Amino acid sequence: MDFLKTIMNEISGDNSSEVGNLTKALLSNSGDKGVLLDTVVNTIKEKGMEDSVESWIGTGDNKAISANQLNDALGSDLMSTLSEKTGIPEKELGGMLSTLLPVVVNQLTPQGKVEGDSGSLVSTGLGLLKGFL
């Protein structure tokens, strides 16, 4: 799968298993809130960083986001949820997410937009996969 290869190539190093765990957690369902990636991205947008998210979705360069910005935007509850799901200490999550999120969102939206009525990044990615099946 090119999607996973791209993510692993762009981000991994010595922490490839943590990157895999974090990617899996982001793509998982978080119960009543839906897919965790959508929750994370929507929270970032609500906290005033919509321009960063839109750059990841678009076809141009991805705008960087810092670990501190992510920690502030996501807050302790969401960071704690991610830490519990991945086994990654909260103090390391911001840095990993700042690298991972732009790549994952970019790979899920190669057309430069979120497809469908749901507005879900994962639904957009699944729609792309259907073309290969």
CATH number at 17-130: 1.10.10.690
Cβ(70)–Cβ(44) under 8 Å?
yes
pTM for the full predicted model: 0.76
Backbone angles phi, psi at 29, to 5 degrees: -85, 135
10-residue averages of pLDDT along the chain (133 residues): 54 64 77 74 93 93 94 93 90 91 86 68 56 46
Domain ranges of the chain: 17-130
